Amino acid sequence: MPKNASELQQALINAATIAMKNAYAPYSQFQVGAAVLAEDGKIYSGCNVENAAYPIGSCAEAGAISAMINGCQTKITAIAVAGVGDKLCTPCGGCRQRIREFAEPTAPVFICGPDGLRHSTTLAELLPMSFGPDNLS
C-alpha cells in the first residue's frame, strides 16, 4: 500500500535509527545511521564504518548513498541522519556535499537521535550557496 508523506518520513527515520544500531564504530563509539528516500519511493540506508587506520573510516551518509546508487537510483528526495549522544547529529561538511550531488537544496533533512526526530531542516540550510552538478553544465 502506498505511504503518505508522514508515514514515509517515519519510515525514513526508522531506517536511519536501525542503521545507527548496526554501525561499526569501535574507536569513536559514535554510531551514526543515515537513510535516503530515492525517486523510486524506496529507502536506502547505511551506517558509519570505522577502521583501525582512522582516516579511512566512512560516514553513514556515504553508505546510504552507495546503497542508493547500487539500487540504480540517483535522486534523493529526503534524508534522515541518526546519531547517538545529546547533541544534534548534523551531517559533516563532506557529507553535505555528498548529499548535494544527488539532492536539490530544497530536500528535507531530518536530524534524529535514539529518541527519534530532533530537528527538521533542508539541505540549503546546511549547505548554503552550494556547488552542485548544475554548476558544471
Question: Residue numbers of the site for ligand THU (CB under 6 A)?
Answer: 25, 28, 30, 32, 48, 50, 57, 59-61, 91-92, 95
> Residue 78: which residues within 8 A CB-CB, separation 6 or more?
8, 9, 12, 36, 37, 107, 108, 109, 110
The minimum distance between CB 102 and ligand THU, in angstroms, equals: 15
CB closer to ligand THU out of 54 and 134: 54
- Active-site annotation holder among 7, 39, 61, 101: 61
The minimum distance between CB 97 and ligand THU, in angstroms, equals: 11
User: Does 61 qualify as catalytic in the annotation?
Assistant: yes
> Residue 24: which residues within 8 A CB-CB, separation 6 or more?
47, 48, 49, 50
**Catalytic residue positions, numbered:** 61
